[in-house]
Amino acid sequence: MKKNYRWGILGAGRIAEKFCTALSFVEGASVYAVASRDSKTAKAYAKKFKAPRFYDNYDDLMQDENVDIIYIATPHAFHYEQTMACIKKGKHVLCEKPMSLTYRQTAAMIDAAKENKVFLMEGMWTASMPFIEKIKQLIDEDVIGKLQYVSADFGFRAPVDLEGRLYNKSLGGGSMMDVGIYPLFLATWLLGEPAFVKAVSKLSITEVDEYINIVLQYPDGQSAHLLSSIQFNTAIEAEIIGTKGSIKIKNPWFKATELEVYFTDEKVQKFSMPHKSNGFDYEIQEVMSCLDKGLLESEKMPHQLTLLISKIMENILLQVGVVYE
């Protein structure tokens, strides 16, 4: 008989609300406790999602023996410290993407999880979605042939709030950290580590990237073009081109419910994969499946992929002059 998992939610912002909403669609999952530094916010979240406990600090959540796994939903800059604290207290962790601000921090988090024998996964919800499984199947079956080129973008026009999460460097602001990680995930998942990286960007007065335009080339000659922005809207589409055809994913590609395969003979095949909830449910199911099996990392979002994305991202940011403390 499968275990019922009691989730602790660390942070009570917009992303946490979406995550908690999805939890109600997953059998065997429940919101057990919510922690926020604002007690009124924590209490409101607990009431809304029928959680029996709420805390006005994070440490009490980490020490609650009834919490099976903690979802960290705070701004990027706090992920390292909070994840390490959870791990040291023996808690399994799903940490919202990006795992941290630097490769060094990400590596330390993964090492700590292994040392303490707890599950750790980066919250890249896209990795667990059905459309990603379909792409993997199509590539494994050689439907589009050998991969040649990947393009993906994610950009939107955000209000310029220099103290807000997107523009404040101390909070891990910038387009790359917020949405650029999605296109980078897709390219890295498909093609691995690039041999060549070139990035150009425009920085804000707070020294974070308002947009980044990236070209990657791989050892076997494949290439990728990625774009992220918090300054302007983009198509938010993706394309994967092979020697026999291509896969096109329309807006919003990062949580797609449909994709199309275009063949060189001009035939088109369409696939539909509607979500049960808002898409976070697949990530939740993957985490619980791993815990049921006693795994300490996910095959869908393994530690090595998280490390490689972090490494490439740091290279990209360094090229354009963004360095996080």
The CATH number for 78's domain is: 3.40.50.720
Query: Does residue 3 surpass a pLDDT of 60?
Result: yes
Tens digits of residue pLDDT in 287-314: 999 999 999 999 999 999 999 999 999 9
Q: Is residue 180 part of a domain?
A: yes
250 and 142 co-located in one domain: yes
Whether 325 is covered by a domain: the verdict is no
The reply to whether 285 and 263 lie within a common domain is: no
How many domains in the chain?
A: 2
Do 83 and 107 contact (CB within 8 A), yes or no? no
Shared domain for 163 and 285, answered yes or no, is no
pLDDT per position as a tens digit, 235-294? 999 999 999 999 999 999 999 999 999 998 889 999 999 998 999 999 999 999 999 999
Task: Calculate mean pLDDT across residues 132-153.
Answer: 98
**Residue 16 and residue 117 in one domain:** yes
Q: What is the pLDDT of residue 265?
A: 85
90: Cβ contacts below 8 Å, ≥ 6 apart? 116, 118
How much is the pLDDT for 264?
A: 86
Rg of the chain over all Cα atoms, to the nearest angstrom: 20
Closest CA to 214 of 152, 258, 166: 152
The domain in which residue 237 lies consists of 127-275+308-320
Assess whether 64 and 140 both reside in one domain: no
User: Does the pLDDT at position 67 exceed 50?
Assistant: yes
Considering the domain architecture, whether residues 162 and 215 belong to the same structural domain is answered as yes
Residue 264: give its domain's CATH number.
3.30.360.10
Q: Does residue 193 sit within a domain?
A: yes
Residues 108 and 140 in one domain: no
- Which tokens in the block code for residue 302? 């393994």
Asked whether residue 135 falls in the same domain as residue 47, the answer is: no
Q: Same domain, yes or no, for 34 and 91?
A: yes
Residue 22 in tokens: 């999805």
pLDDT at position 1 is 47
Residue 303 domain flag:
no
Give percent above pLDDT 90 in the chain.
Answer: 98
Same domain, 60 and 99: yes
Contact call for residues 179 and 154 (beta carbons, < 8 A): yes
For the chain, the average pLDDT equals 97
At 38, the amino acid letter reads: D
154 has a pLDDT exceeding 90: yes
Per-residue pLDDT at 266: 86
Q: What is the pLDDT of residues 155-181, one digit of tens each?
A: 999 999 999 999 999 999 999 999 999
